[in-house]
Chain A
Amino acid sequence: MFAELNSILNTSPDSFKPGEFILVSDKHTDASFLIHHFLSFYLRAGCKVCFLGLVQSFSHYSAISQRLGVSLTQGREKGQLVFLEGLKESLGVLLQGEASKETRTMDFLRDPSSGLRGLYDFVRDNVRGAVGGAEEWGPPVLLVDDLSVVLSLGVSVGAALDFSHYCRATVCSELQGSMVMLVRCEAEEEEESDDEGSERLLRGLIHQCSLTLQVQGLPTGYCRDIHGQVEVCWRGQCDRQQAQKKLFQYKVHDKGASFFARGMSSAVL
């Protein structure tokens, strides 16, 4: 959990807005440090977290969360965290090729045209939580890292947008929980293809979300001390509240990230 980011977003583990759909996107850089922030944030807030880790192994997130002060193994044992290890499940699907009985979660690997229905079923089953047990955990949270990898694996943009729409309807509207998704894009210098997958996905998701954090490299070039810039944009839900944008630069450390206004990096001053 990054304290500076909490103050920028005006949230804390004790008080955060319910029903938020937060979209994290990046271009030519890696914004997964924000996913680690949100993971430790919501675990500290006591929410029930469903994490779809499609690109990295569980021990990767566990090691980083350890440095941020949260134990993922403990969370998994207590039932607060449900973790889908996409890589592990995918091997069974890719190698054998026949329809497996239990896990239909990663079915889109075998047949990309079928869409992300199996993944949504997994989310729906795990986000509701134990019906019999007491409501010891807070509102449910869904974290996806990252959604654009399914585009690389052949799933269409429409299917990915359907998935996020269904998840939003279940998690944010029905259960008043929150959702955080990471989308990675490729910036095109010239618009050679209009229907470039990840750009369309990004535009569709920006339309659906309530808060975006767009991470980019510095427009002036590569710098070792400033890793990039983050543009935070609140989309106005009510009539009187307009969309509000703020721009920060950031540097990622071993145990966190620091955010500062443009030109105020300690390396420059």
Chain B
Amino acid sequence: MAAPKMSVGKPTVDRLPCNTTSFQKKSRSKLVSIPGTRPSIQNGQLIVSTGVTSLDYVIGGGLAVGTLLLIEEDRYDSYSRMLFKYFLAEGVVCGHELYVASALDHPNDILQELPAPILDDIASPKTVEDQAKSCDPESQDAMKIAWRYQHLPKVQTALASSSRFGHYYDVSKTMDPEICQAARCHGFYLPEHSTAVTSPTATTSGQSPMPETYSSLLNNLQEVIHREGFDGSVPQTKSRNILRIGLHSLGSALWDDDLCCRENPSHGHALTTFLYGLRAMLRSSLSVAVVTVPSHLIQNRALMGNITRLCDTAIALESFRGSERETNPLYKDYHGLLDVRQLPYLNCLVCDLPDNKDLAFKLKRKQFTIERLHLPPDLSETVSRVSRGELTGTAMVGSSGCGSGSTGNRHLDF
């Protein structure tokens, strides 16, 4: 928080004028009074937690207000849905308003499935640190041979920042209905909104790039933002709040978009136009959005690149469930891989680049952890180590079993 660059910038106005964007550097003298947010350490942006503390660390402290997080779904939408629910649960616990849009499940059903927060959770993050601390005195005595390495820090696989931000959730229980009721929530369930048969845009001469589903979602979202005053239009007598927007499975066939069905879709620019409009809306209001896209169904990689570039932060999940990697001993501790595809540059030239891009996640009952993937030392007698590069390479082809068999000739018979 004592970053010198924050004092270089001009102190900005406190109130949000309606014609400027929400990317205003908040100077330290005026403390922002929105609950559940804090200024970022790197560049003073106002950030919120995604609900998963290790994901917050991976994307640079948290989600900046006014930006969009893209989650590329895993194959059965199990873990991406979990992240989606964590995001909404965090909004409920922090007192933010929610906006949920879905074409498959009713938003009320999604809200009833949110994980329960662990409110006395001071114990859980400390145990990781305590274990690390308790190991050190033992290792100091133990290092008799490798004493030159004594001063080096122990490799921490768990990613966590020093200050706590965000909450922990218990996945096995659902949130109390009373807590849920206390949060204001706006839902958009697509089957209820697809009423208009003749859309006015279809009668104009040109072809509208967005199908009716996306434009009605965009209009509905703008109406909610405007009515509740998130864009500063209504002078808010009550304290300012953040709107958390969750859009589930955009781009799937249920949204009347054939992006996932064909290699050359006819509405190829529908989702990108929608994301452009969403970006414009987010930049001018106090809101943050999470969008999940079933990218494993999109065959055209260039389209996925366009979609990624229109979002600010983008991560991709790849779960091991149902693939050959589930039984691979290398990945036995994890449920899947997480790839950070893009990090945003917000109001500054640099972003917080991670030093390691090999990340894996596992979903435990009380925590969704993201860790650095590293090879443990192979202490077996037979040198049958299959390198990680081969694993990832052959697993893409889909025959990691055969791959390790064919490299059996690594047994060098002297």
Chain B associates with chain A: yes
Interface residues of A (CB under 8 A from B): 30, 32-33, 36, 55-60, 63-64, 66-67, 87-88, 90-91, 94-95, 97-99, 109-114, 149, 151-154, 184, 186, 188, 193, 196-198, 222, 224, 227, 252-257
Q: Top 3 nearest A-B pairs by Cβ distance?
A: A111-B206, A154-B269, A87-B280
- B219 to A67, Cβ gap below 8 A? no
- B349 to A33, Cβ gap below 8 A? yes
- A94 to B353, Cβ gap below 8 A? no
Q: Which of A91, A111, A186, A255 contacts B277 (CB 8 A)?
A: A91
A-B contact pairs, 25 of them (CB 8 A): A56-B283, A59-B21, A63-B23, A64-B347, A66-B9, A87-B280, A87-B283, A94-B218, A95-B218, A97-B200, A98-B200, A109-B209, A109-B273, A109-B276, A111-B208, A113-B206, A149-B309, A152-B269, A152-B306, A152-B310, A153-B273, A154-B209, A184-B309, A188-B301, A254-B5
A64 CA / B349 CA spacing, docked (Å): 7
CB distance from A118 to the nearest CB of B (A): 13
- B350 to A94, Cβ gap below 8 A? no
Question: Known contacts being A184-B309, A188-B302, is A111 close to B349, with CB within 8 Å?
Answer: no
Q: For chain B residues 329-371, which have a beta carbon within 8 Å of chain A?
A: 345-350, 353-355, 357
A60 CA / B269 CA spacing, docked (Å): 26
A108 CA / B103 CA spacing, docked (Å): 28
| B195 at the binding interface (Cβ < 8 Å) | no
Interface string of B197-218 (1 = CB under 8 A from A): 0001100111111100001001
Question: Known contacts being A60-B23, A109-B209, A184-B309, is A253 close to B280, with CB within 8 Å?
Answer: no
| Chain B interface bracket (under 10, 10 to 19, 20 to 34, 35 or more) | 35 or more
Question: Known contacts being A87-B280, A152-B269, A184-B309, is A112 close to B346, with CB within 8 Å?
Answer: no
| Least CB separation from B23: chain A residue | A59
Contacts of B272 in A (CB 8 A): 152-154
| Least CB separation from A189: chain B residue | B301
Q: Which of A95, A184, A198, A254 contacts B219 (CB 8 A)?
A: A95
Q: For chain B residues 296-336, which have a beta carbon within 8 Å of chain A?
A: 300-302, 305-306, 309-310
Interface-centre pick from B208, B276, B354 (highest chain A CB count, 10 A): B276
Contacts of B283 in A (CB 8 A): 56-57, 87
Contacts of A56 in B (CB 8 A): 283
Contacts of A57 in B (CB 8 A): 21, 23, 283-284
Contacts of B354 in A (CB 8 A): 224
- A67 to B348, Cβ gap below 8 A? yes
Q: Which of B273, B309, B348 contacts A64 (CB 8 A)?
A: B348
Contacts of A98 in B (CB 8 A): 200
- A252 to B349, Cβ gap below 8 A? yes
A88 CA / B354 CA spacing, docked (Å): 32
Q: Which of B206, B284, B305, B306 contacts A88 (CB 8 A)?
A: B284
- B347 to A60, Cβ gap below 8 A? yes
CB distance from B353 to the nearest CB of A (A): 6
CB distance from B356 to the nearest CB of A (A): 9
